């Protein structure tokens, strides 16, 4: 069986990390609650005025590398690999990806490769970058 897992929001807590940084930087402006989010791009769920501030957070150096794992997600991935399933991580980098692509690889290296038996998980063969998020809208 082949399993495709999204990196942000499935393995890595993009929403929680963004919200934490937003509250720290802009305590007077409440973040959009996660359950009120409707757009793929988080900036599109904010009014026009603070969008540059929104982008500044997730485009900053270290943001993607420092995303915390979603509780239980990494163990679930390891369990699937141990069960013999082919597990791949799919992710869409930002259009302005100065730090994003490298940091996504570094995140996988830190949270999966470094903590897995030698050779069992390689970011070079298990991390797929896509230009779009086509699988999120597929009927299957």
Q: How far, rounded to the nearest angstrom, does the alpha carbon of residue 99 sit from its chain's CA centroid? A: 13
Question: Is 8 among the catalytic positions?
Answer: yes
Q: Which of 8, 13, 49, 98 is catalytic?
A: 8
In the structure, what pLDDT confidence band is assigned to residue 19 with cuts at 50, 70 and 90? very high
What is the model's pTM?
0.81
Q: Confirm whether 79 is a catalytic residue.
A: no
Mean pLDDT, to the nearest integer, of 30-52?
Answer: 91
The answer to whether 89 and 127 have CB atoms below 8 angstroms apart is yes
Predicted pLDDT at 23: 97
Q: Mutual orientation of helices 51-58 and 14-25 as an angle, nearest 10°?
A: 120
- Considering 39-48, 82-91, 117-126, the range whose residues carry the highest mean pLDDT is 39-48
pLDDT of res. 125 = 52
Q: Which of 6, 13, 44, 79 is catalytic?
A: 6
- Report pLDDT digits (tens) over 56-107: 999 999 999 999 999 999 989 888 888 888 888 888 877 676 788 889 888 9
Looking at the predicted structure, is the pLDDT value of residue 15 above 70?
A: yes
How far apart are the C-alpha atoms of 85 and 87, rounded to whole Å? 6
Domain residue spans in the chain? 2-136
Range with the lowest mean pLDDT among 1-15, 34-48, 66-80, 94-108? 94-108
């Amino acid at each position: 069986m082949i399993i495709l897992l999204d990196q942000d929001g499935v393995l890595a807590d993009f929403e929680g990390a963004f919200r934490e940084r937003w509250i720290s930087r802009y305590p007077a402006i409440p973040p959009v609650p996660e359950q009120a989010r409707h757009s793929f791009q988080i900036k599109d769920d904010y009014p026009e005025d603070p969008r540059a501030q929104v982008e500044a957070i997730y485009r900053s150096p270290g943001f993607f590398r420092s995303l915390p794992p979603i509780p239980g997600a990494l163990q679930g991935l390891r369990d699937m690999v141990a069960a013999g399933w082919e597990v791949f991580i799919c992710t869409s980098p930002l259009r302005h990806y100065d730090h994003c692509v490298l940091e996504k690889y570094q995140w996988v290296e830190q949270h999966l490769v470094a903590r897995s038996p030698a050779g069992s998980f390689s970011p070079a063969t298990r991390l797929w970058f896509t230009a779009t998020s086509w699988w999120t809208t597929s009927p299957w």
